[in-house]
Amino acid sequence: MITAALSQLQTEQTEAQKLENMTGQERAEYERYSYKKQLDDLKKQVETARMQRTARNMLAEKGIHLPDELLSSIVTAEADTTKQNVEQFSTLFERAVEDAVKQRLKGEPPKRGKSGGTLTKADIMKEKDPLKQQKMIQEHMDLF
């Protein structure tokens, strides 16, 4: 932090020395250049904010909501490139979500009953013990 502060102070001192050594016209040109640079920087920031807003709306239409950090990596200064980046990202995002869902759905389906899965309503009704019968009914409600 101290090094950064010292380098900033040296830069400011160098700028002040430059201004002292300049003539009135040179100083005016330097200030004009400085203001022009600031104006250009502000224009770039405004344009970037507009592009981010547009990209956010395009992604929101597809149901994708991103944090600003990730959105800024998609947005560029050119509208066509930004549009391509948004479309490519949304395609990749949707594919990744589908793959994740498929991965989670993989595996064995739930097993029915303890006997092998061929239990019928008649088998349940044949059970003599009422507690076991009630438990079997609860486990196999799809048969009733």
The per-residue pLDDT for range 88-115, each reduced to its tens digit, is 999 999 999 999 999 888 877 666 555 5
Share of the chain above pLDDT 70, in %: 94
Q: Which of 29, 27, 39, 78 is nearest to 55 (CA)?
A: 78
131 burial via Cβ count (<10 Å: 0-12, 13-18, 19+) = exposed
Contact 125, 133 (CB under 8 A): yes
Tokens 């002292």: give the residue.
Answer: 20
Contact 60, 69 (CB under 8 A): no
In this prediction, residue 52 carries a pLDDT of 92
How many Å apart are CA 45 and CA 52, to the nearest integer? 10
Res 142 pLDDT > 80: yes
Contact 95, 62 (CB under 8 A): no
How many Å apart are CA 73 and CA 86, to the nearest integer? 10
In this prediction, residue 17 carries a pLDDT of 76
